[in-house]
Amino acid sequence: MQEATPNKPIVCPEAKQLLEAAGFVDVVEHVYPLPFCKDWLDARLRRERAAAEWYKVITNEENTAFDPVSMINGLTMGPLTRHLGWSRAQVDSLVASVLDVIKDENIHAFHVL
């Protein structure tokens, strides 16, 4: 996605430095790993477990009004087809693979907020 959206960065590793350069002081940066699966988390991490449960609900077609395939396709179809020349079938295959990883509780996948 970063390659497909070069002028719209997905991450901003230098956010703290940019804010300080703009005049903000005492900038504190917190990075929150939001896991896609709660089962591998320590029970003490209640907030992270709640986020993981939310991710699990929205990526499970049977338990939600959300359509995870459409949701992920909506984020990826345009950039990957327009800027990288992928076919719709290639994007659909990638989305299916992503959902397989997200749903696999043996893989400790997470999103960084």
Q: With pLDDT > 70 as the criterion, what percentage of the chain qualifies? A: 72
Distance, in Å, from the CA atom of 30 to the CA atom of 82, rounded to the nearest integer, reads 34
Q: Residue 96: its pLDDT value, please?
A: 86
Rounded CA-CA distance 110/103 in Å is 11
Burial label, 59 (beta-carbon count in 10 A; 0-12, 13-18, 19+): buried
* Strand stretches in the chain, DSSP E: 33-35, 110-112
Q: Choose the most confident range, by mean pLDDT, from 25-39, 48-62, 89-103.
A: 89-103
pLDDT digits (tens, 9 = 90+) for 17-29: 999 999 999 999 8
